[in-house]
Structure 1
Amino acid sequence: MQKLRFIDLFCGIGGMRLGFEYAAHSLNYQTECVLSSEINPDAQLVYKHNFGHTPLGDIQFIAELPEHDFLLAGFPCQSFSYAGKKAGFGDTRGTLFFEIMRLVDTHKPKALIFENVRGLYTHERGRTLETIKHEIQKRGYSFNVFLLNSSNFNLPQNRVRIYILGILDAKPQFGLISDLGAKDSHSYNYEQLSLFYPHRKNVTVADILEDNPDSKYDCSPNFVKVLKRLVKDDFSKLNGVRLIDYRGGNSIHSWEMGLRGECSSDEIELMNLFILKRRNKEFGRHQDGKLLTREQIASFFAHSQLDEILESLVAKKYLQIVNGKYKPVSGNFSFEVYKFLDPNKISVTIVASDANRLGVYHQNRVRRITPREAARLQGFPDSFILHSDDDKTYYQMGNSVSINVVKAVAQEVISKTLYYYMQSKQKVKL
């Protein structure tokens, strides 16, 4: 059996490696990781526990690469993320892409597989991606880009990531299709999507839930008591609900829960209208965060005791006054859960910053999802050894790749790479 040698840069806890190895084994190839690199010590520890060796540290201190066939790299996404500062290559982390290219020059592999956040696709109006394309193509590689959603690969998570693929001296036609999937986890429709993905399973959040997780994941009694009052004893109404203070829709807010002091029905009505109406163009061109005067508030909340209600909301710190205008107090008030997943739908994208605050109502328990459930959302097998610190596992899973997607991508790249490699060898013989 032929052995495929690969390198795992910015390897994290080993998600790219796991997906690649699954793909190779499904095609009857053995694998050998000849070098891995990861700067985070917590991720290094998990990697060692699962793969038997500790990755090298900072990529900038690696002089050259050993001989290998495939290069995997989930290079840092903060520089390109919608949630980040969008600094791109002006950010030190962004320049780490060029460190990959420096190492590629020391030993060119047959193929490249890169993963990053979807924001890279449109960053700087496409100029960042064009720079990456130029650097890859000038070294003789093909350049293919796909936006892939984990929900299309038998995982119940609405997670879109960009995959950049390159094969040396080839012009492959991959069988992958860019697809952003559902607009959000609520509009997910399996029947519609399955028409385009006949091999997809109808996988939902319910499929990754543990039967009897530790009681430490239960929400606090006081938190549950307030939620029970709001949903009138029907906890299933929590499915798909956000707990957030700057959005309306299917949301629960701090003033409805009384987290900073109980609010009257009038106060709740005013706050709910405030966050809805402040988006109106008549109050300014800013999409979010518009401050409103008393007169503007009165235009949609006519009440004989408006001044008293505003004064009460300011005193309870649900509103603050800035330059004579009213503004909701920022922050999420440390909700124990910021989103309740719907067991019959797919999950929102899990991210490092708050994967530990995704909730679920399951088997008569109001709780947070467990670290193992977070791992399952990313396609990690239950045999995968997680970090002993739950919060570090949540963080690592939010930063990781979806194993199923990597496997599908790697199957394509391995098949096409070896095909073109054999073709070139035959031409040499002729």
Structure 2
Amino acid sequence: MYPLGLTHISDNMKVGSLFSGIGGIDLGFIQAGHEIAWANEIDDAAVKTYKNNFPETEIIHDDVRNIKFDKLNSVDLIAAGFPCQSFSIMGYQRGFHDSRGNLFFEITRAIDIIRPRYVFLENVKNLMYHDNGKTFLVIYNSLVQFGYFVKYKVIDAKDVNIPQNRARIFIVAFRDYADCLNFEFPEAVALEKTVDDIIDRSVKQEEIYYYKEDNRHYDELNRKVTSNGIYRIDDNGIATRKWEICPTLKANMGTYPDRVPIVRDDFGIRKLTLRECLDFQGFPESFLFEDVPMDKAYKQTGNTVCVPVIKRMAEKLNNSL
């Protein structure tokens, strides 16, 4: 039996996962019937969450630069949501000049040794435009130089009926041209789910989530945050903006608690709970944070992927097998 009550389909792919985080990409592939042969993550708190939710998966708790890929079990697909901070506006436009940007080349090192049939990469949408497109071109050309055929597309969480604004670029590389021809990215579906399908404003949450009257933002929030919609304090720390869907959940929610999106429920003004954040990322109710500090859990939630997006693409890969 596989984690989270999911069953592996024996004739589908074995996946090697790099920069695994809490396992969002891995979970999407598992839900599509594939098996995670091994995973890798360096962050202590993320590894703890991963182990709690994927107890049967081998996770290598180490710097990716230390991995001897020739010693690992062979896989059909390498998946990596490689460090997005180095390529996003949030990361100060540092790109390959930042050491985390150079971690991309650990993926190509793995590709060179393992020669998987597929490579699946996820990153922030801004990757396409960084340094006038030069960063993306390096990534694209690196895959081509290893003999892979490459397709890419920007897909938003709301394209799979998850009410979060979360546009990400997905790059899929194929060792065989026939597989490339057979693969199509999933089409967008109508967004029918709303924030109130996830947020129950009639239920009292733990007190830790509520803004108190002595909070420096309270008076402003009390004026601006109405009983519907979802809000976020913007970069100057005062103004708020109303969203009809959840704004992008970001890793900085762990460092700056006021960056967690805000709602008004029947009991006051509060942050989204960790469970609600997981719901906006499409994680099942069985996925839990155990013995992980709240700031680390918020960071992990903002760093992960929208699971249903991954599942839809993994299912599309099934069609090209």
Provide the rounded CA distance (Å) in 1 between the counterparts of 2:221 and 2:21: 40
| Cα distance change of structure 1 residues 393 and 157 upon mapping to structure 2, 3 Å threshold | same
| 1:360-382 Cα shifts (integer Å, max 9, x gaps) | 01234311110110111111111
Alignment partner for residue 412 of structure 1, among 301, 306, 316? Answer: 316
Provide the rounded CA distance (Å) in 2 between the counterparts of 1:88 and 1:173: 32
Is residue 2:58 matched to residue 1:47? no
Provide the rounded CA distance (Å) in 2 between the counterparts of 1:228 and 1:410: 41
- CA displacement at 1:221 relative to structure 2: 2.9
SS of match in other structure, 1:78: helix
SS of match in other structure, 2:250: coil
Alignment partner for residue 304 of structure 2, among 400, 410, 413? Answer: 400
Identity of aligned residues (%): 33
Is residue 2:84 matched to residue 1:77? yes
In structure 1, runs of 5+ residues without a counterpart are 25-30, 178-195, 247-331, 419-430
- CA displacement at 1:132 relative to structure 2: 1.1
One-letter amino acid of the structure 2 residue matched with residue 214 of structure 1: E
- CA displacement at 1:201 relative to structure 2: 4.5
| Cα distance change of structure 1 residues 244 and 148 upon mapping to structure 2, 3 Å threshold | closer
Is the CA contact (8 Å cut-off) linking 2:163 and 2:191 kept in structure 1?
Answer: no
Is residue 2:52 matched to residue 1:62? no
Provide the rounded CA distance (Å) in 2 between the counterparts of 1:228 and 1:147: 33
Corresponding position of 1:207: 197
Is residue 2:261 matched to residue 1:362? no
Alignment partner for residue 19 of structure 1, among 4, 23, 28? Answer: 28
Is residue 2:150 matched to residue 1:143? yes
Provide the rounded CA distance (Å) in 1 between the counterparts of 2:97 and 2:293: 34
TM-score (norm 1): 0.64
Is the CA contact (8 Å cut-off) linking 1:218 and 1:368 kept in structure 2?
Answer: yes
One-letter amino acid of the structure 2 residue matched with residue 23 of structure 1: A
| Cα distance change of structure 1 residues 10 and 339 upon mapping to structure 2, 3 Å threshold | farther
One-letter amino acid of the structure 2 residue matched with residue 19 of structure 1: G
Provide the rounded CA distance (Å) in 2 between the counterparts of 1:50 and 1:120: 30
Corresponding position of 2:247: 348
Provide the rounded CA distance (Å) in 1 between the counterparts of 2:248 and 2:218: 28
TM-score (norm 2): 0.85
Let me know the Cα RMSD of the aligned residues: 2.4
Corresponding position of 2:97: 90
Q: Aligned residue pairs: how many?
A: 298
- 4+ residue segments displaced more than 6 Å: none
One-letter amino acid of the structure 2 residue matched with residue 236 of structure 1: T
Is the CA contact (8 Å cut-off) linking 1:341 and 1:347 kept in structure 2?
Answer: no
| Cα distance change of structure 1 residues 245 and 349 upon mapping to structure 2, 3 Å threshold | closer
Corresponding position of 2:219: 226
| Cα distance change of structure 1 residues 229 and 104 upon mapping to structure 2, 3 Å threshold | closer
Provide the rounded CA distance (Å) in 2 between the counterparts of 1:201 and 1:91: 37
| Cα distance change of structure 1 residues 51 and 339 upon mapping to structure 2, 3 Å threshold | farther
Provide the rounded CA distance (Å) in 1 between the counterparts of 2:22 and 2:233: 30
Is the CA contact (8 Å cut-off) linking 1:8 and 1:17 kept in structure 2?
Answer: yes
SS of match in other structure, 1:136: helix
One-letter amino acid of the structure 1 residue matched with residue 15 of structure 2: F
SS of match in other structure, 2:113: coil
Q: Mapping of 1:415-430 within 5 angstroms?
A: 415-416=319-320, 418=321
Provide the rounded CA distance (Å) in 2 between the counterparts of 1:8 and 1:88: 22
Corresponding position of 1:300: none
Corresponding position of 1:35: 38
One-letter amino acid of the structure 1 residue matched with residue 252 of structure 2: S
Provide the rounded CA distance (Å) in 2 between the counterparts of 1:361 and 1:11: 34
Provide the rounded CA distance (Å) in 1 between the counterparts of 2:105 and 2:125: 19
Provide the rounded CA distance (Å) in 1 between the counterparts of 2:214 and 2:150: 54
Structure label with greater radius of gyration: 1
| Cα distance change of structure 1 residues 58 and 245 upon mapping to structure 2, 3 Å threshold | closer
Is the CA contact (8 Å cut-off) linking 1:341 and 1:360 kept in structure 2?
Answer: no
Is the CA contact (8 Å cut-off) linking 2:25 and 2:307 kept in structure 1?
Answer: yes
One-letter amino acid of the structure 1 residue matched with residue 211 of structure 2: C
Q: Mapping of 1:323-342 within 5 angstroms?
A: 332=237, 339=240
| Cα distance change of structure 1 residues 166 and 368 upon mapping to structure 2, 3 Å threshold | same
In structure 2, runs of 5+ residues without a counterpart are 1-9
- CA displacement at 1:236 relative to structure 2: 2.1
